[in-house]
A and B are shown apart, each in its own frame.
Chain A
Amino acid sequence: GAGVSQSPSNKVTEKGKDVELRCDPISGHTALYWYRQSLGQGLEFLIYFQGNSAPDKSGLPSDRFSAERTGGSVSTLTIQRTQQEDSAVYLCASSFRARGEKLFFGSGTQLSVL
Chain B
Amino acid sequence: DQQVKQNSPSLSVQEGRISILNCDYTNSMFDYFLWYKKYPAEGPTFLISISSIKDKNEDGRFTVFLNKSAKHLSLHIVPSQPGDSAVYFCAAWSNSGYALNFGKGTSLLVTP
Q: What's the A-B contact tally at a CB cutoff of 8 Å?
A: 56
- CB B73 to nearest CB in A, in angstroms, measures 16
- CB A37 to nearest CB in B, in angstroms, measures 9
Question: Once the chains bind, are B102 and A43 in contact (CB under 8 Å)?
Answer: yes
Is B41 among interface residues, defined by CB-CB distance under 8 A? yes
Interface flags for A52-87 (1: CB within 8 Å of B; 0: not) read 000010110000000000000000000000000000
Contact A102 B46, CB 8 Å, known A43-B102, A45-B100: yes
Question: Once the chains bind, are A42 and B98 in contact (CB under 8 Å)?
Answer: no
**Which of B2, B43, B97 is packed against the most chain A CB atoms within 10 Å?**
B43
Q: How far is the CA of A104 from the CA of B43 in the complex (A)?
A: 9
Contact A43 B41, CB 8 Å, known A59-B99, A98-B98: no
Chain B interface residue count, CB cutoff 8 Å, equals 25
Is B93 among interface residues, defined by CB-CB distance under 8 A? yes
Is A103 among interface residues, defined by CB-CB distance under 8 A? yes
Question: Once the chains bind, are A99 and B93 in contact (CB under 8 Å)?
Answer: yes
Within 8 A of A (CB), among B55-87: none
